[in-house]
Structure 1
C-alpha cells in the first residue's frame, strides 16, 4: 500500500491541517485519551446550532449520492417517532477502503459522530453496521474504552455490493437478509423497527464530529474527501510509493474538493494513465479530458460522471477500456441481489455482450444493443447496481468509440490475454 496521505489545496503533498491529518491520517489506531484531549466527546448543549453549522459548511454525505447531510438529519428529526442512527461502514464498492480504514483506525471519531447526530435527531439508539472483522474489533474496543450513554449496537453482515444500500442495511439490522427493498418508504420515514432512521456513511459521521470539535475549520472539514486511488500501471515519473517496473500500490488520500484528477494521478504513481474509472464502479469510464476533471460532485456530474464513494481506478496504456468495462459489468452481474428481474436480465446482457466484444466475438449489432440498454436500464432496479452497469456502458461508448469499433473485428492483445472477469483488478487492500 502506498499509504495514507494528505494533500494541500495548492497541490503540494503534506498536511492539509493539523486537525485533519492529526486526527485522521497519522499512523496507528485512535487513542481515546488523545481524542478526549483534542475535544472529542464534548457535551452538546445546542443541537440545532450544530445542525445549522453542518448546513452552512455544505457537508454532503460520503456514501455515494452526495446528498446534503443537514437535510437528511432534519428529515429524521422531524419524522414522528423515536429515531435510530446507523453508521454505515459496509463498503460494497471493491475499489474503496476509506470506511473500513476509519472504523479500524478512527472508531472514536465515528462513534462521536453517532452521539452528535443522535442528539440532533432525538435518537435513543445507534448502530454500527459493517462486514469487516478488524473494524468490528476496533469498534467494540472503542465502546469499552468510552462507554456511551446512548445504546449502540454493532451489526455485522456479509460483504456484498448491495449490502450497504440503505434499505438493505435496515433489513439486515431487523434480522433479515442484507438485500434492498422497494421504496417508498425510505428509512427516514420507516426504518429500523419501523422507526425513522438515519443511515449515514461513517465518513459523514466522522466529519460531523470534526466540525463540532473544530468549528473554525468547518468549511475545510466539509470540503475534504477521503479517496481511494488504485490502478495496475507502473507510472513514469511517479510520486510516493511507486515501484519502477511494477504495479503501483494503492493509496488512501485526503484531498480538497476541486482537486484535478491529474494531480492525484501524478502524486500516487499513475502519471502515465490514459483513462480513469470513477466512483468505484458507479461513476463510469472517462478517457480524453479526464485529467481536467475536478474531484467534486457537481463538476463530475456536469461531465456525465459521478464521484460516488470516492474510489478512482486509473487505466494505463496496457489496460484496455473495453476489457475493463467487461470485467466491471461481469462483477456487477455476479453481485446482483437477484430480486429484480430487470436487474438480473439487464446486468447479464451487459456482461455477456461486453465480454463477447472484448474477445472480438460480438455481433454486428452489439454496439447498437449496448447503446439502447444504456439508455433504457437506469432507474429500473431497486438499488444502484443496474445504474452502475448502464453508466459503465454509456461512458465506454461515449469516450472510446474507436476502441469499441475495433473490438467488433478482433480482440486486442490486452483482452486476448486477460484473466477471468472476477473483479480482482478493482479490489484494494485496507492500509
Structure 2
C-alpha cells in the first residue's frame, strides 16, 4: 500500500480497483493486460454510450456526463474553437482518498477515459490537476509510459479545500490564484485559456473508461436500474479498518460499515464537509445511491463516509470541522471571510456548553446568515453541515444546552488537517465581576465569541483571544458602560 493511502477493498465486481490487490501501482503493460484496449468513439457514439450507461459525475454534483459533453461540443461549434479536457484530481476534502488512489495506483484507467473524451471532442490537450506529490509523479509517469507527452500534462496546486472547486481549478491552470472565481462561469463555455473545457473528476473519467470497455449492458450488470455501475467510497472516521471501497451503487450503508469494522454511533457524515450528518438509526437503513439516500435527507456527494462511533462528542466533532472550514475560506466575500468565523465560534461555544439556548440560537442565526450569499458554494456547504448536526444530534444538543456537556470527550474522529492552536492569539478577555451589570453590549460586538447566560451576563471562553478579533475586542472594551471588560495581553503588556 502507498504511504498515506488507506487500504483498497471491494464488494462485488472490482472494476476500477482491479489488480490493486496484487500490485502497488498498475503500469502500462499491466493495465493493458487487465483492461485491454479502450475503443475510440466518435462524438455521437460517446454521447450515446454515456446516456445508455446513465454516467454521472462522481465529484459531488452528479451531473449527467452526456449533457456536459454536449454542452462543450455545442460551445466549441458556435465559437469554432478548440476544446480542452481537464481531470480534477485535486481532492482537497480531508476525508476523501478515492481519486488519490486512482491517480497514484491506477492512473491509466483515468487516462483511458480522458483520452477517449479528448479524441471524441478533438481536444487540443488533456490537463490533470492534482495536489498530492505522489499522484503527480504517478500520472506524469503514466503519460510518459503511453507516449502522451505533449498531448497531456499535469498541473499541481496547493492542498486546500477550495482548490477542488471547478472554477478554482480552471483559474489555477490559467495562471491565476486557485480560488473560486466569485461568479458563475461555465467551463463548457469558457474554461482553460477561455476555450470550451470538459471538466470532471478522476473517478468520472475512470468510470467512462469502464463503460466503454464493458459496454452499456455489461456496465449495467452492477448497481441499480436507475444508477448502474459501481461507486468509490472513502470510509474513515471511527472505522477500525479505514478503506477506499468499490461497491455497486445501491448497496446498504450498513454493509459498507461492517466491511470497515465501523460503528456508526450517534451518526455518520455522508458526502464530506459540504454534506450532512445523518443519525445512527438512519445510517442502518440508508442505501448508497441518489434514490437510496433521499429518504434520510442527504446525498452521496464525493462518496465520503465518516462514522463517528459511540464514544466521541458529536457537537465537538462538528465544531472542529466548522473551525477548519472557516479557515479554508477564499476570503473574497463577506459571508466567507466574516460570517464563517462567527458560525465556527458559535458552534465551539455550543460544544463547550457556553451560553445555553442563547448560543444555540446564535448558531442557527449565523448559519442562516451565510446561506445563499456567498460568491461560491463554500458558505452554503458549511451552513448545511452545521445545521445537520443540530438535527441529527438533538439529544446531545439538549445536554449541552442544559448541562454544558454530553459527558463525552472530543476524540478527533473527523479528519481535520490543521487544528485551532495554530492560530495567532493576543491574550485573554477578563471580566471584573464587581463591575459587570449585564448590559450585554460586548456579546453584540463579539457575537459568537462572547455569549450571554440566561441572566444576560457574558460567558467568555477560557481559550486565548484569536488575533483576528483584537479590534472587535478593543471596541467591546471601549463600549462597556461599567468598564468591566479588559484584555490581558500575551506577555503582560
Superposition TM-score, scaled by structure 1 size: 0.87
Say whether the 8 Å CA contact 1:326–1:421 is kept in structure 2. Answer: no
User: Is 2:261 aligned against 1:257?
Assistant: no
Q: Deviations over 1:157-203 (max 9, x none)?
A: 00100001000001000111110003332111111100011111000
Say whether the 8 Å CA contact 1:99–1:203 is kept in structure 2. Answer: yes
Q: Which residue of 1 aligns with 2:207?
A: 207
Q: Which residue of 1 aligns with 2:137?
A: 137
Q: Report matched runs for 1:320-331 at 5 Å.
A: 320-331=313-324
Q: Report matched runs for 1:109-258 at 5 Å.
A: 109-148=109-148, 151-215=151-215, 216-219=217-220, 220=222, 222-232=228-238, 248-258=240-250
| Paired positions, count | 403
Q: Which has the higher contact order (CA 8 A, sep 6+)?
A: 1
Say whether the 8 Å CA contact 1:89–1:130 is kept in structure 2. Answer: yes
Counterparts of 2:414 and 2:46, CA distance in 1: 47
- Cα distance, 1:131 vs. partner? 0.8
User: 1:25/1:162 Cα in 2 relative to 1: closer, same or farther (>3 Å)?
Assistant: farther
Q: Which residue of 2 aligns with 1:274?
A: 266
- Cα distance, 1:99 vs. partner? 0.7
User: Is 2:67 aligned against 1:71?
Assistant: yes
RMSD between aligned residues: 2.4
Superposition TM-score, scaled by structure 2 size: 0.77
Q: Which residue of 2 aligns with 1:11?
A: none
User: 1:162/1:36 Cα in 2 relative to 1: closer, same or farther (>3 Å)?
Assistant: same
Which of 42-51 and 193-202 deviates more? 42-51
User: Is 2:282 aligned against 1:286?
Assistant: no
User: 1:361/1:78 Cα in 2 relative to 1: closer, same or farther (>3 Å)?
Assistant: same
Q: Which residue of 1 aligns with 2:408?
A: 414
Say whether the 8 Å CA contact 1:162–1:383 is kept in structure 2. Answer: no
Between Structure 1 and Structure 2, whose CA radius of gyration is higher? 2
SS at match of 1:414: coil
User: Is 2:93 aligned against 1:93?
Assistant: yes
Q: Report matched runs for 1:27-46 at 5 Å.
A: 27-46=23-42
Which of 394-403 and 215-224 deviates more? 215-224
Say whether the 8 Å CA contact 2:41–2:120 is kept in structure 1. Answer: no
User: Is 2:357 aligned against 1:364?
Assistant: yes
Say whether the 8 Å CA contact 1:280–1:309 is kept in structure 2. Answer: yes
Which of 393-402 and 198-207 deviates more? 393-402
User: 1:105/1:411 Cα in 2 relative to 1: closer, same or farther (>3 Å)?
Assistant: same
Q: Deviations over 1:91-115 (max 9, x none)?
A: 1110000111100111111111111
Say whether the 8 Å CA contact 2:324–2:418 is kept in structure 1. Answer: no
Q: Deviations over 1:198-255 (max 9, x none)?
A: 111000001111111221422238521110101236xxxxxxxxxxxxxx14111001
Say whether the 8 Å CA contact 1:88–1:201 is kept in structure 2. Answer: yes
Say whether the 8 Å CA contact 1:73–1:120 is kept in structure 2. Answer: no
Unaligned runs of 5+ in 2: 420-493
Which of 124-133 and 417-426 deviates more? 417-426
User: 1:46/1:355 Cα in 2 relative to 1: closer, same or farther (>3 Å)?
Assistant: same
- Cα distance, 1:47 vs. partner? 3.4
Counterparts of 2:345 and 2:8, CA distance in 1: 37
Counterparts of 1:194 and 1:404, CA distance in 2: 49
User: 1:340/1:307 Cα in 2 relative to 1: closer, same or farther (>3 Å)?
Assistant: same
Counterparts of 1:67 and 1:272, CA distance in 2: 29
SS at match of 1:390: helix
Counterparts of 1:421 and 1:31, CA distance in 2: 34
Say whether the 8 Å CA contact 1:40–1:209 is kept in structure 2. Answer: no
